[in-house]
């Protein structure tokens, strides 16, 4: 499976990691499972590590994912996204970030994991 989801109790987050090529339906499934894990573990903090993601998704796919996540995510849900290393995939993830924010979700992208975790712990950072 090109993605995994783990509860990180020591950090009080749920972490989703993505690698390689992932079709839009699989990515949507992973996003919804991540929200469910957050609810199950009583956390509103999510880290999406897309560092090795290679996928490209259409604007329509991103819109659909953002719409469904906006409906499923609880109020106060925060998602930190580690940008992919590949420039094209990075542009796609930045588009996700913009689309999620436009739907009223709190999401922010970061070049590395340390910065993403710092923001999750202290959103004013």
Going from N- to C-terminal start, the domains of the chain cover 3-121
How many angstroms separate the CA atoms of 91 and 78, rounded? 21
Residues 28/17, Cβ–Cβ less than 8 Å: no
**What predicted TM-score, i.e. pTM, was given to this entire model?**
0.87
Report pLDDT for 70. Answer: 82
Report pLDDT for 116. Answer: 95
**Rounded to 5°, angle at Cα 118 from 117 and 123:** 105
- The first and second tokens of residue 56, run together, are 């490209």
Q: What 3-state class would DSSP assign to 92?
A: helix
Give pLDDT tens digits along the chain (125 positions).
688 999 999 999 999 998 888 888 888 888 889 989 999 999 999 999 988 888 777 778 888 888 888 888 877 889 999 988 887 777 777 887 888 888 888 889 999 999 999 999 887 75
CATH H-level, domain 3-121: superfamily: STAS domain (3.30.750.24)
How many angstroms separate the CA atoms of 59 and 37, rounded? 26
Strand extents, DSSP E, 10-113: 13-20, 45-53, 78-82, 106-110
Residues in the chain: 125
Task: Output b/e per residue, 37-74; b: 16+ Cβ within 10 A.
Answer: bbeeeebbbbbbbbbebbbebeeebbebbbeebeeebe
């Amino acid at each position: 499976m090109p993605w995994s989801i783990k509860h990180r109790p020591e950090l009080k987050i749920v972490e989703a990691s993505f690698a390689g090529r992932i079709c839009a339906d699989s990515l949507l499934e992973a996003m919804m499972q991540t929200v469910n894990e957050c609810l199950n573990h009583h956390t509103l903090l999510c880290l999406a590590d897309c560092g090795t993601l290679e996928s490209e998704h259409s604007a329509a796919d991103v819109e659909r994912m953002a719409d469904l996540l906006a409906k499923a995510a609880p109020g106060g849900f925060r998602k930190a996204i580690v940008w992919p290393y590949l420039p094209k995939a990075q542009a796609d993830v930045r588009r996700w970030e913009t689309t999620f924010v436009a739907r009223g979700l709190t999401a922010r992208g970061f070049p590395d994991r340390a910065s993403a975790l710092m923001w999750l712990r202290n959103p004013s950072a």
